[in-house]
Amino acid sequence: MKHDIHIIGGGLAGSEAAWQLAQRGVRVKLSEMRGAGHMTPAHQSDGLAELVCSNSFRSDDDEKNAVGLLHHEMRRMDSLVMRAGEVARVPAGSAMAVDRDVFSAEVEKALTQHPNITVVRELVDTLPQDGPVIVATGPLTAAALADSIGALTGADSLAFFDAIAPIVHRDSIDMSKAWIQSRWNKRTAASNEDGDYINCPMTKEQYLAFHQGLMDAEKGEFKEWEADTPYFDGCMPIEVMAERGVETLRYGPMKGVGLDNPYDTSEEHPQGKWPYAVVQLRQDNKLGTLWNMVGFQTKMKYGAQVELFRTIPGLENAEFARLGGMHRNTFINSPKLLDRQLRLRTASHIRFAGQMTGCEGYVESAAVGLLAGVMAATELAGENWEAPPRTSAMGALLSHITGDAEASSFQPMNVNFGLFPPLHKVPKKQRKEAYTSRAKEDFGGWLATLDGIPA
């Protein structure tokens, strides 16, 4: 079958994009290297949309949870991933978990039986020079194709250990114990009025206890296939730094010099009331709702992170939009390289979708694939594309990928309410419901403008 668009990668994003295009009458060629004598270190089969880690799509609560809201929006757009998920669903309380074999089989059956889709088992080594293309090869993109992408985007390398520091919701930080200040009060044209960092001070006793906590915490291990992947610049795990000596962190990311602690009433600091140690948080998005813990990339297990980081003064009740981590990943600097329609600025016939764009998680990957498919179908039909509202889960995720995030520090992100335009006037206890209520109303209005999709 002659195709109208070529999708490279048969994971969640590629499968969802293919479905959305085919349902709109577009003829799709879907290339997947598994099944053609090639395999990734993480996959176990050649099934389309294989889930390689957890079998959970996380919370299905669309009233108080951002990923549950994303489920809701995807269902309204006839998502194949959500369709197959319902068929393969297994008991998991308020979460949505699936039998991974049933799920993959359902996706594969839907795609291979669709008259507008041709699934080809082949390895694609280079990016096509012309014709509409969606690249959805995920975090384990084959080396030759990754090199081709790197050559086109100007990236030196796309495979590295990305340093993920924890991200905290701003309104969960206790500002009666923390304060805002830039070190030495240095300012730039982009600085906030009071300073660029939230500072959480530690006494000597608190620091020593924290250091010991880092030494004792349960850590994850690198997988065998990750062993030869180089660290990205400046991404040394905080617990590795701690192992180098008890004072190492105080002369690294936790140094207190140049910061005057307004809560220190002692008279013992002639050079200024510098804390013994400090944990700094830096604004992570333009809305100011998310702040990341500077230099706190880690391989500690998630439970250990929450327990230890909540011992930091000011973070006792911290709510984390994302916990820290370090793992092999392949993604592009989307805010710099992609336009608002996920097209490569230097080669507009190429779109990217899924984890390659810097979204994190099964559902987010599929959602970006869904959007890429609808965008491409709209373009092929000669129609104008209007992005979903930023107040919706899809719109917030798309905005983060294509412009809201800072390109210089861009890292993969799960969908969370910190990506949404804030509702400061709504009481905190009612805020999550307010986010979802606003999103559903705005998303429904947007859907009504798209041909062929029921509102």
Residue 255, both tokens = 């140094």
Q: Is 13 marked as a binding-site residue?
A: yes
> What tokens does 206 get?
């608190």
Q: Is 10 annotated in some ligand binding site? A: yes
Question: What would the two tokens of residue 182 be?
Answer: 């830039």
Nearest alpha-carbon partner for 188 in 408, 338, 400: 408
CB 223 within 8 A of CB 161: no
Q: Residue 231 and residue 250: Cα distance in Å, rounded?
A: 22
Calpha distance 195→241 (Å, rounded): 27
Q: Which two tokens stand for residue 231?
A: 């660290």
CB 307 within 8 A of CB 331: no
Q: In this structure, what DSSP letter does residue 20 have?
A: H
CA-nearest of 234, 227, 237, 238 to 159 is 227
Place of tokens 């384990």: 140
CB 173 within 8 A of CB 321: no
Pairing verdict, β 167-169 and 320-322:
antiparallel
Q: Is residue 11 marked as binding? A: yes
Reference 169, options 335, 386, 315; nearest CA is 315
Opening angle at CA 125, ends 361 and 21, nearest 5: 55
Closest CA to 131 of 379, 387, 383: 379
Q: Is 47 annotated as a binding residue?
A: no
Binding-site annotation, residues: 9-14
Binding-site annotation, residues for FAD: 9-14
